[in-house]
Structure 1
């Protein structure tokens, strides 16, 4: 069921003009990965809507304060080390994503190069490699491709399919979908659970 620009703006009223840009991108991505039918489409839109700030953000925001760094990554930052890199997104990315997800140590710059991009943020060397292989893109050399609407949507739909989220949508396990996207596992409430659910309920109404 292709969505229209009018429907997308009803679901994402904060998207503004960018909604029109994303309509063909989302429709192509959903068709390719069989995100079809009211439940699947509503679930997918709700999750990408939350993850992207209603389609307005396709690159991870790492502009943290010192307090935010300590709170978010208590095992990575002390108050002193956090103060040294606060509001320096590139340095922050290289520290928090160092030697994880296939990235090299901080000095390689992999954390910044492979920071979260796309409507469901692909993060880390391993995930960029897997996504690029699936979509036929050289994302290791050109990770910024995921900032383009078409690839931002396709990468999200690829992630969705890879993690079996169509099946969870069909079964009505909406909370588990958010948990997998946000925490990597079920059984824990995802960040922004209330907003995800509100977007889902609105999408179900719009898509009736």
Structure 2
């Protein structure tokens, strides 16, 4: 991630408070690392699928799908878990795979991708390779952080754990790691 591109994206969408900048950077680091990427959804154990997607695979949470049928098949898994959500069509539409997480904050879904497309004036749905470019990933992450979620407001108020929920949802995966990165970054801003 280049500092100049990150600064430009942050400035464009009003991520200026030092707590917000630190939390934004920390969340991006645990979501995608330094390079923007696409979510791969390559799972190798039924236990992990049940833990991450309980409503789809864990009968105790209403899951009715056999996790073994989705192991090592990221496209099939994406089309199931993201079907009918976030502006996506049904499993047969292919939207789950086409609009799986992307960029530094793993923006997911047709509706969210279209919102970012309009905000940054780039043809993201027509040219999906753009989603993996550094500048585009940072712009998408900044827009999502500041305009599509409550993360920027939460960070400015010092609710750093809340920023993880705003980005990652109720699972809050890697929350401890994100907070540790936030604490390292904050003194340098």
2:112 corresponds, among 127, 131, 135, to: 127
Q: Residues 174 and 131 of structure 1: is their aligned pair in 2 closer, same or farther, counting only changes over 3 Å?
A: same
What's the TM-score, normalizing by structure 2?
0.87
- TM-score norm. by structure 1 comes to 0.79
Structure 1 contact 66–85 (Cα < 8 Å) conserved: no
1:192 aligns with 2:174: yes
**Structure 1 position 182 matched with structure 2 position 182:** no
Residues matched between the structures, number: 182
| 1:16-165 pair list within 5 angstroms | 19=1, 22-52=2-32, 54-67=33-46, 68-77=48-57, 81-162=66-147, 163-165=149-151
Distance in 1, matches of 2:157 and 2:65, equals 47
Structure 2: stretches of 5+ with no match in the other structure: 59-63
Structure with larger RCO (C-alpha < 8 A, sep 6+): 2
Distance 1:71 1:199, change over 3 A: same
Whole-Å separation in 1 of the counterparts to 2:87 and 2:171: 27
Query: Structure 1 pair 31/117, CA: closer, same or farther in 2 (3 Å)?
Result: same
Aligned-partner Cα distance in 2 for 1:165–1:73:
23
- RMSD (Å), alpha carbons: 2.0
- The Cα of 1:94 is off from its aligned counterpart by 0.9
Give the Å deviation of 1:80: 7.3
Q: CA deviation at 1:189?
A: 7.4
